[in-house]
Structures are given as C-alpha cells and as structure tokens.
Structure 1
Amino acid sequence: MHTATPAPGALISADIDFTAASLDVARRLIGITLLVDGVGGRIVETEAYDPEEPASHSFNGRTARNASLFGPPGCAYVYRSHGLHWCLNFVCRETGHAAGVLIRALEPTHGLDRMRERRGLDEPRLLCAGPGRVGQALAIDRSFDGLRLDEAPFALFAPPHGLPAPEVVTGPRIGISKAVDMPWRFGERNSRFLSKRFA
C-alpha cells in the first residue's frame, strides 16, 4: 500500500499539462521535484517518446505490457528494462495517443537515507543517475503502473518562488537502437546528477 508524505512548505504543487506533447512535458519537468512516498528529488534529466517514432514502446501498438502508456494522461507507465530495472514514465497527450516521458535522473533532496539503503551506496551523485537507479531509489515496481501522478504516493512540486528556471539542454536519447539521432533527451545544464553528460 502506498501512502503520501507531506512535502516541505517551501514547495508548491506543480501545474503540469500532461495533455501536451511529450517534448513539451519532458522539457517542463526539468527542475520539478518528484516525490514518491516522500522520497525523491529534483528532476534533472528526461527523455520524450511518441508512437510515431520507432524507439517508443507504443510504436507497434497496444500490448499488455504497455497498456498504461495509452492513457489517460497524467498517469505512470512502469516497465522493466532488460528484466532487471523498473523504469518510471509519465503518460502524455490525449488518451489513446500513447506518448510518454522517461524520468532519467534526479538530484536527490528528500529521503536520502532511504535511497542509500535501497541502492546500497552512499554517493549522492549515483543514487538516481539513470532510470534504473531512479526506480530502485524510489522503490518503484509494477504496482505503480497506471497510478495517477496527482495522487499518493506521487507528488510533484514546482521550485520555490523566486528561483531562476533551470537552463535546459538537449541531445540524443540513450540506450536505444532506433531513432538514435533525435534530440529528445533533456537535462539541466551542468548538473552533476545526470546519468551522462551532454555533448
């Protein structure tokens, strides 16, 4: 059973339009704080996917594995990568379109002790640097698939008022064999918490 943990008062709920294109949502999420049962941090790296390009899980249509990717928008799509790691995605666009944003890396800010225990290491930079690491640090598994992002255990918060917006850079996505040149990976410039530096 998943339960919500109140977030610090300095944060405010993020108002994100998940009916927008995955490219827009992927960029907009940089700098947003993601908490799962009170554990998480600032999103510093994302990747966008759309069914019209062959790297997307929905390119070949709906299956039991990718059903949650078809909506509604604003829900989680969770899949297992290479049979090892659970990966967290946010569903975008209208119901049935099947676009999504992969959460690739966080800057850990909340629940670091719990993340260290789950990951079995102390180095903050490596706790959430990569989608599999994010899944492990946040204790994501298949039970999160299809859950709404605006309800427990998820919480999304905008940066505290007055902070400058992060500078976002783009580049090719990582770990795929199709549509490899599309610049659909987004990240916070010079963040040391990225899974891989941008060129």
Structure 2
Amino acid sequence: MKAGASHDDHQVFPDFLDRPVDQAARMLLGCLIIRDYGSEGEQARVRIVETEAYDQNDPASHAYDGRSTRNAALFGPSGHMYVYFTYGMHYCMNISCQEDGFGAGVLIRACQPVQGLDLLRSHRHGRHPDQDLTNGPAKLCQALDIDKRHYGHDLRKPPIRLATAGLAQDETITATPRISISHAKETLRRFVITGNPYLSR
C-alpha cells in the first residue's frame, strides 16, 4: 500500500525500553512495527501480539555467556535490532532493552498485519492465509524482509520503525512459558495478547 504521509503521522517511539526486559516485553504488546520498502512509498505495518523476554542472567538467552561479536546488539542501547540466523534458514528479530551494557532483548514472536497485506504476502513467497503471514518469528522476518542487513538498526529510523500503541479496552495479557527453548523452560517470560488469532502455534 502507498503511504505518502508515512513520515509525518506523529508516531511516537516507545519510552519504556530502558525498563527491565520483562516489563518492556509486556508493554511492547500492541505496538507497531512500520516497514518502508524502496523508494515508492510502499509501507507495511504490523501490530505486536506475542513477545518473549531474555537477559544476560537467563541461560536461555543469547547474552548469557557474555558479550560477543554475534550478540553485541543486545548489550548496546535500547531500541535497536538484534537479528540472528537460526536452523540454517530463518531470521528472527529482537529489540534490545534495558541500560547500555546490560545484555537484554525482546524476541518478537508474532504480529497482526495492519497495513500492506499485499507486500507481506509477496515476501512470504506463497499462498498463505493472512493469519499465517506473521504468526511466528521467522515468518515475521520473512514477511517484513528483515535479515542480517538490519542487525543493530535503530528502530527510531526508517526503513524499520517502532511506534507506541496500546491495547484495546477489552484486551488482556497472558504470561506463559517460552517456546522452543532447552533452558529455563518453566519461566513465564512469553507474553501474548490473550486469544489473539495471530499468535504463533
């Protein structure tokens, strides 16, 4: 979809990403990821509906063994992208949180498409139901055309921006154990908008 006023629509960057990562993971629910494509003013927007919190004290976290070239973005200022490659085929997106120097990030597990469905479909390369376009961390990165080019990207700036938005009046948050991890499996650090149809499976 075209978005001629995309940079003048008064989107506000979240002011809570320096808080403890579990708080940030909850508060990111409902926020928007805005993806600008190319020079034609094309834009997609998705709404965050599922997150997972990780930090350097967590054995399931990529930051657990200390700072490295691979995970440096998690130890930097909040509001930057930590993108990693998994299973030799997929990218996943995290948002760095807490203070500069402390390794913490929120994995964006699933989003609800808001704008630019045709763009999201085109990057998913196939015929997928709309509910399956962004309902998993790898699907989300594919749909938004996110990969290692965006490692360390500041989400205050194009082409990928984060904007504050809240929950609807009737929406609530549920905390559950995280998915597909081998350590600290019982910890309730996965946060979802309860009953949202776009959650990962």
Quick check: TM above 0.5? yes
C-alpha distance in 2, partners of 1:152/1:26? 22
Residues 18 and 97, structure 2, Cα contact 8 Å, conserved in 1: yes
Give 1:69 deviation, angstroms.
1.1
2:60 is equivalent to residue 68 of structure 1: no
Q: Identify the residue that residue 52 of structure 1 maps to in structure 2.
A: 57
1:103-147 CA distance string (max 9 Å, x none): 000001121101111112241100001100011000001010111
Are the structure 2 counterparts of residues 31 and 11 from structure 1 closer, same or farther at C-alpha, using a change threshold of 3 Å?
farther
Q: How does 1:177-188 map to 2 (within 5 A)?
A: 177-188=182-193
Are the structure 2 counterparts of residues 111 and 148 from structure 1 closer, same or farther at C-alpha, using a change threshold of 3 Å?
same
C-alpha distance in 1, partners of 2:10/2:129? 25
C-alpha distance in 2, partners of 1:77/1:6? 28
1:147-166 CA distance string (max 9 Å, x none): 11111112223348x95273
2:28 is equivalent to residue 23 of structure 1: no
* Matching residue's letter, 1:61: G
Once the two structures are aligned, what percentage of the paired residues are identical? 39
Give 1:99 deviation, angstroms.
0.3
2:193 is equivalent to residue 194 of structure 1: no
2:106 is paired with a residue whose SS is strand
1:21-62 CA distance string (max 9 Å, x none): 110110001111111213231100000001101000010112
Q: Identify the residue that residue 104 of structure 2 maps to in structure 1.
A: 99
Are the structure 2 counterparts of residues 79 and 11 from structure 1 closer, same or farther at C-alpha, using a change threshold of 3 Å?
same
C-alpha distance in 2, partners of 1:71/1:14? 17
TM-score after normalising by structure 1? 0.89
Q: How many residue pairs get matched?
A: 192
Are the structure 2 counterparts of residues 166 and 158 from structure 1 closer, same or farther at C-alpha, using a change threshold of 3 Å?
farther
C-alpha distance in 2, partners of 1:22/1:165? 25
2:164 is equivalent to residue 158 of structure 1: yes
1:45-90 CA distance string (max 9 Å, x none): 0000011010000101122211111111111111011121111100
- Give the gaps of 5 or more residues in structure 1: none
Q: Identify the residue that residue 173 of structure 2 maps to in structure 1.
A: 168
Are the structure 2 counterparts of residues 74 and 10 from structure 1 closer, same or farther at C-alpha, using a change threshold of 3 Å?
closer
Q: Identify the residue that residue 90 of structure 1 maps to in structure 2.
A: 95
Aligned partner (choices 116, 136, 146) of residue 142 of structure 2? 136
Give 1:195 deviation, angstroms.
0.0
Are the structure 2 counterparts of residues 8 and 106 from structure 1 closer, same or farther at C-alpha, using a change threshold of 3 Å?
farther
Q: Which moved more, 1:173-182 or 1:33-42?
A: 33-42
